[in-house]
Structure 1
């Protein structure tokens, strides 16, 4: 048996923790960096660190690091907050690697399908034009470019909307009578949080076993469904009969993201559609 592979997950929140636990089960040494790292689940090894600080954390791991996953999320949702989380934070981590003389085999940068601004239900893949209208997509592209310019092998993973029925954000909106436009349909793209972690783990394991990775993958399920269809389905499952007075207007555009490239590599989602991901609601209806 070869040496245990090591990975440091910078910004080890919910998604990073799911990834870390999966890789730990597969025999990897996993370091999780976050401000309050003591809260991380065993066996993720805690690295207390602040991505906004240029000084390398004292407990940064020694020796070689095989992989780096950058999975930060913004705590302040204005442009400065996004830039701090994604651009400056990544710049700091790349600086820490340099200070320690570490050169991971690959950097996985967790990005977003928000870099696409298409609004007319078009199908999108990794080669589609990225011309975001808002600062969130623009900052994410800037961070992607910083990663690509780092001299490390880089793969960007552009995730759709993360969901988990145990975090009932959408269910709460549906319960409140969420009403969305039906014509034209607003296509929405999502991925179950466990599938997002699974995709990241699959890419790392593929790279470790010598499979050539592309520099970008879309992380979405098989079913970019109109939002009104998702809402109708949830209403029926949850027994909701009333509607809110006003429709919710979405600023996120309308596009259909394809996961064909990730699937061609051999990945497949455990929850291919929102129906699979939210199936547990059937049992919890009352």
Structure 2
């Protein structure tokens, strides 16, 4: 039996972590990004720009069993998001069509920003999607491009990704970051290794013949109030000073459920922020 193949379009941080896991499992991995020198060893580089309609010169010509689309916006404005998630996906689908390639499944990496809940509600894949900002609205549009592509597709809505190199909150806590305590501002997160692991898990389930749903949420086991997370990090880091400015409150507050992926058998390596941040601070991930 030949090795399964996957094209990871937008093979950045999470994509590279996914590539390493799949390579270890015996997959043939193609990674599409502008600078292929930054791809992990063992990945076949496909140098190309997702934002351009021009097909990469070294696009793989054989069969591609799976496609994972996990691009990141270069410009964080409405046009940047449209290019990265809608137009980029349309370009990849067009290139697949040009080469007569019909993958077994497309997995589109979306975001929990598609949910607009603000009152700490629990949300799952069946919850209303009423995105308030352009990022969520464009993610919803891109999701439909994937699901209507003619290729069997699943959407993975990832929550806040953290990990080595994604340490904004740690930096803020060290500076004395203040957050509102009441009402609680719930946040949702997933370690970058778990985000990649969940993608690999879904691909393997599809290979095994398991019928996948259209939508999944990628989140750890314990959404928590931001004030609780900050308090734990302050104690762990030994931070005793507070910043002079007033408490910070971001918009949006919801608790995302991972019940659907856990019912398939997925278990996160870092089930809560405690294990994940401890691993980062101890240099174990």
TM bucket normalised to smaller: over 0.9
In the alignment, which residue of structure 2 is the partner of 1:249? Answer: 249
Counting only pairs closer than 5 Å after superposition, residues 122-161 of structure 1 correspond to structure 2 as 122-161=121-160
Are positions 1:96 and 2:73 aligned together? no
Match of 2:208 in 1: 209
2:104 aligns to what? 105
Match of 1:61 in 2: 60
Matches within 5 A, 1:1-286: 2-165=1-164, 167-244=166-243, 245-251=245-251, 253-280=252-279, 283=282
Pairwise CA distance, 1:280? 3.2
Structure 1 runs (4+) deviating above 6 angstroms are: none
Unaligned runs of 5+ in 1: none
Q: Secondary structure at the match of 2:156?
A: strand
Deviation at 1:281, TM superposition (A): 5.9
Q: How far apart, in 2, do the equivalents of 1:267 and 1:281 lie?
A: 22
Residues 235-279 of structure 1 deviation map (CA, whole Å, 9 limit, x = unaligned): 00001111112222212x000000000000000100000001012
1:160-203 Cα offsets, whole Å, 9 max, x none, are 10001553211100011111111100000000000000000000
Change in Cα spacing, 1:259 to 1:62, as seen in structure 2 (3 Å) is same
| Native 8 Å contact 2:15 2:196 kept in 1 | yes
SS of the residue corresponding to residue 55 of structure 2 reads coil
Deviations 1:86-128 (A, max 9, x none): 0000000000000000010000000000100000010000000
Q: Is the 8 A contact 1:117 1:132 kept in 2?
A: yes
Give yes or no for contact 1:237–1:281 (8 Å, CA) kept in 2. Answer: no
Contact 1:165 1:278 in 2 (8 A): no
Distance across 1 between alignment mates of 2:47 and 2:282: 39
Distance between the aligned counterparts of 2:195 and 2:29, measured in 1? 17
Instruction: Give the alignment's Cα RMSD to 1 decimal.
Output: 1.1
- Distance verdict in 2 for CA 1:282–1:75, change over 3 Å: closer
* Structure 1 pair 278–53 and aligned structure 2 pair: CA distance change class (3 A): same
What is the deviation of 1:209? 1.1
Q: Offset at 1:282?
A: 6.3
Conserved? CA contact 1:165–1:277, under 8 Å:
no
Distance 1:168 1:131 in 2: 29
Structure 2 unaligned runs (5+)?
A: none
Matched residue pairs, number? Answer: 282
3-state SS of paired residue (2:96): helix
Query: Displacement, 1:283?
Result: 4.5
Name the CA shift for 1:3/1:282 in 2 (closer, same or farther; >3 Å): closer
Distance 2:28 2:128 in 1: 37
Say if 1:10 and 1:68, in contact at 8 Å, map to a contact too. yes
- Three-state SS of the structure 2 residue aligned to 1:218 is strand
* Alpha-carbon separation, structure 2, partners of 1:274 and 1:42: 30
